[in-house]
Structure 1
Amino acid sequence: MADTLHHFIEQFGLVAIFIGCLLEGETVAILGGFFAHQDVLVPWQVFATVYVGAFCGDALLFLVGKHFSGAAFVHRLEDKPAFAYAQRMVRKYPTLYVLLNRYVYGLRMIGGVVAGLAGIGTMKFLLLNAVATLIWASIFTGMGYVFGTAAEQIIGSELARHQRLLVALGVAVLVVLVGLVFMHRMRRKAVRRD
């Protein structure tokens, strides 16, 4: 099974990373960096895939907000508690908002749409997003790469590569679960405030 998993990651890892980074992405970017450290994937290809996936995801959400403000998807996002907060922030600090919204967990999906609705120019958004995404991809892919080094120190380099992959997948599941619990608590707090 471990050999099958290893082969699967080699074959489809970059596609999975691209799709994951189109959506939310932090956990996927970290995992990509880890797999690059383990020599399962090529480091520069992982970084490029993380960057392009995250950039395209943000640009797509921005264009949805800018050109499809009446769409059902946008109306569903408007019902989320963080939407009003994001609108206030983008009005007060449009440049800073575009540069930093991707770092607020759970705000990325809303963030691009809100930026599009706020009337930020397309070129301005794309340039700011390119810078923000470059920094973001470096941080999260780098964290995964460093995590790979730390895992080798903790687990031991004598473990087979596929065993470290299984450990990484276990850690990824744990990170996702912690993120979901955190988001659930943040939503409950936001609902209580309203």
Structure 2
Amino acid sequence: MPSDFIHSLIEQYGLLAIFVGCLLEGESAAILGGFFAHQDVLVPWKIFVTVYAGAFCGDAVFFFAGKYSAAGPLVRRFERKPAFSYAQRMVRAHPTLYVLLNRYVYGLRMIGGVAAGLAGIRTPKFLALNALSSLAWSGIFMGIGYVFGTAAEQIIGSELARHERLLVAVGIGVFVVMAGFYLMHRLRRHQRPRSP
């Protein structure tokens, strides 16, 4: 049965997929992790550790890229993005607050890590702030997924079949990705210089 096969794939590779998703922008992966925790598809504490590790490591990788590979192709590619100059201004004006809150601005997380590395923030300070920010971020976005799981049970019924759980999870993932793309599109439209 296809739903059993998908369920088996999630049980085998779900934590790896969540970790990789959280290395990047990560919100949808963390929300799906929270949903799977609510539905007992994966072990909740393992999901939390995976989300936290992916979030922390992802930001650290981009920070070190900015700090030690300023002339590298990844950094140069990010420097061409319109939001990069904004990130640089913010990290120089408010370095502590910037590191704590950067991951909550959709579309700026990777750029922000590089900007923090280029700004000369000391490594121990960045890692400590990143650890706190990642911990809060993991709890918030996993919590959103967990609440979605509760809402899904109320709408569909507490006796969700396996394939219904997976369909709801896919729906949540699609919704979060579409919302993210919509917000990025709006942000880019506002950042474009207006013609006189």
TM-score, normalised by the number of residues in structure 1: 0.97
1:154 matches 2:155: yes
| Root-mean-square deviation (Å) | 1.2
Alignment of 1:49-88 (within 5 A): 49-88=50-89
For the residues of structure 2 that align with 1:73 and 1:27, how far apart are their CA atoms? 23
For the residues of structure 1 that align with 2:175 and 2:25, how far apart are their CA atoms? 16
Offset at residue 70 of structure 1 (A): 0.3
Which residue number corresponds to residue 140 of structure 2?
139
Offset at residue 178 of structure 1 (A): 2.1
For the residues of structure 2 that align with 1:142 and 1:26, how far apart are their CA atoms? 11
Q: Deviations along 1:25-70, whole A, 9 cap, x unmatched?
A: 0010000010111111000000000000110000000000000000
Which residue number corresponds to residue 191 of structure 1?
192
For the residues of structure 1 that align with 2:18 and 2:194, how far apart are their CA atoms? 36
For the residues of structure 2 that align with 1:171 and 1:113, how far apart are their CA atoms? 29
How many pairs align? 194
2:193 aligned counterpart, secondary structure: helix
Offset at residue 100 of structure 1 (A): 0.4
Tell me which moved more, 158-167 or 31-40: 158-167
Q: Is the 8 A contact 2:32 2:172 kept in 1?
A: no
Alignment of 1:32-51 (within 5 A): 32-51=33-52
Listed as ranges, the gaps of 5+ residues in structure 2 are none
Q: Deviations along 1:83-112, whole A, 9 cap, x unmatched?
A: 111111111100000000000110001010
Offset at residue 159 of structure 1 (A): 2.8
Q: Is the 8 A contact 1:101 1:111 kept in 2?
A: yes
TM-score, normalised by the number of residues in structure 2: 0.96
Which residue number corresponds to residue 20 of structure 1?
21
Which residue number corresponds to residue 103 of structure 2?
102
2:158 aligned counterpart, secondary structure: coil
1:192 aligned counterpart, secondary structure: coil
2:192 aligned counterpart, secondary structure: helix
Offset at residue 193 of structure 1 (A): 5.2
The one-letter amino acid of 2:92's match is: R
For the residues of structure 2 that align with 1:19 and 1:50, how far apart are their CA atoms? 9
Alignment of 1:4-19 (within 5 A): 4-19=5-20
1:158 aligned counterpart, secondary structure: coil
Which residue number corresponds to residue 176 of structure 1?
177
Change in Cα spacing, 1:49 to 1:193, as seen in structure 2 (3 Å) is farther
Which residue number corresponds to residue 117 of structure 1?
118
The one-letter amino acid of 2:152's match is: A
